[in-house]
Amino acid sequence: MATTTAAVTLTSDLLSDNMSVSASTTCMKAGTTADGLDQMEYGYVNLVTGDEYDLVGATPTATKASKLYLKNHSTDETYFIAVTQNAQAIGKLYAGDWMFIPADFHDAAGDIAITANGGTNKICYALFHEGITLVTT
Amino acid sequence: MATTATISLSSDIAPGFGGITESMTLTQAGNLVDIDSTTGFQIRKLSATGAVDLITMASELVEPKDSVAAKIFIRNIGYQGAIDKSVGVTIGVNAEPIGLLYGGDWMMMPLTCIDADDITANPATDDTVVLEYVMFYEEA
């Protein structure tokens, strides 16, 4: 079985006592407890301002499990990318920010789309999944 | 007053993939000032299918500023120590499904915090499951 592990450590001193949360999970195929995600895409792109672009070129199979990691590697703190799914705004990733979600590619319109703001943003992404529909030439 | 998050991804799917380890300090939008507000750490027990609000943006005691640099962390911790990785809870924003959070899985994503963009949770089954979550945001 292919094994993909995602771990996080979250700390904050905003509360009166420091908060520290650690979590780790093995990314499995949909509906299984013994079969891990077995396909992935990994990329780094420069995203110019202006248009909105689909981050994932081919559509991962609907109803299957997918995990998406996305980081804005820009260094100018005023730069950000706006992230949407199926035209619904999710939020903004400023320079240095990352996100990790169980992406639901329920149909072609469900792609994750990103728009650069401030200047050319540098984006790293990794998609772990269990199958995609390739685009025919 | 710093809030930090570090992710480590490892995988043996693709030969040569060396993994990813990245940290971020949660800052306010467009500057390097630390983010300053949080809902605090919370849990929500769900025992039936059907979408419910984890966070109703218009009902927060401290109004979050819209369309800036908010983040949310959510984790499916199962129930009473039992974690079923084969079933999960669909997390959504304003009725748009973002993804299915299986037992033990976690997610972290940015938020708009505008009133329409509530964070919803919809379990796949009637089995009891607990989500833990915390939101960081800027005060309006």
Q: Please say whether the beta carbons of B132 and B74 come within 8 A.
A: yes
Q: Is the pLDDT of residue B62 over 80?
A: no
CA distances from A23 to A30, A104, B5, B120, B132 (A): 20, 21, 11, 21, 11
* Domains of chain A, residue spans: 37-133
Within chain A, which residues score under 50 in pLDDT? none
Closest residue by Cα to residue B67 from B28, B108, B120, B26: B28
Residue B89 has pLDDT above 90, yes or no: yes
Chain B residues inside the 8 Å CB shell of A39: 13
The stretch B24-28 carries a mean pLDDT of 96
- If pLDDT is split at 50, 70 and 90, which confidence band does B107 have? very high
Residues of A in contact with B7 (CB under 8 A): 6-8, 69, 98, 100
Contact A69 B71 (CB under 8 A): no
Q: What is the mean pLDDT of residues B87-111?
A: 95
- Given this model, what pLDDT does residue B70 score? 95
What is the rounded CA–CA span in Å between residue B36 and residue B15? 41
Provide the pLDDT for residue A132: 79
pLDDT of the residue at B33: 95
Which ipTM was obtained for this model?
A: 0.96
**Mean pLDDT, all residues of chain B:** 94
Contact B100, B124 (CB under 8 A): yes
* Strand partners for A17: none
In chain B, which residue's Cα lies nearest the Cα of A41? B14
Chain B residue with the nearest C-alpha to that of A106: B97
Question: Is the model's pLDDT at B1 over the cut of 70?
Answer: no
List the domains of chain B with CATH numbers.
37-137 (2.60.120.1540)
Question: Given this model, what pLDDT does residue B30 score?
Answer: 92
CATH of domain A37-133: 2.60.120.10
Confidence (pLDDT) at A57: 67
Q: What is the pLDDT of residue A106?
A: 74
Q: Is the pLDDT of residue B136 over 70?
A: yes
% of chain B surpassing 90 pLDDT: 87
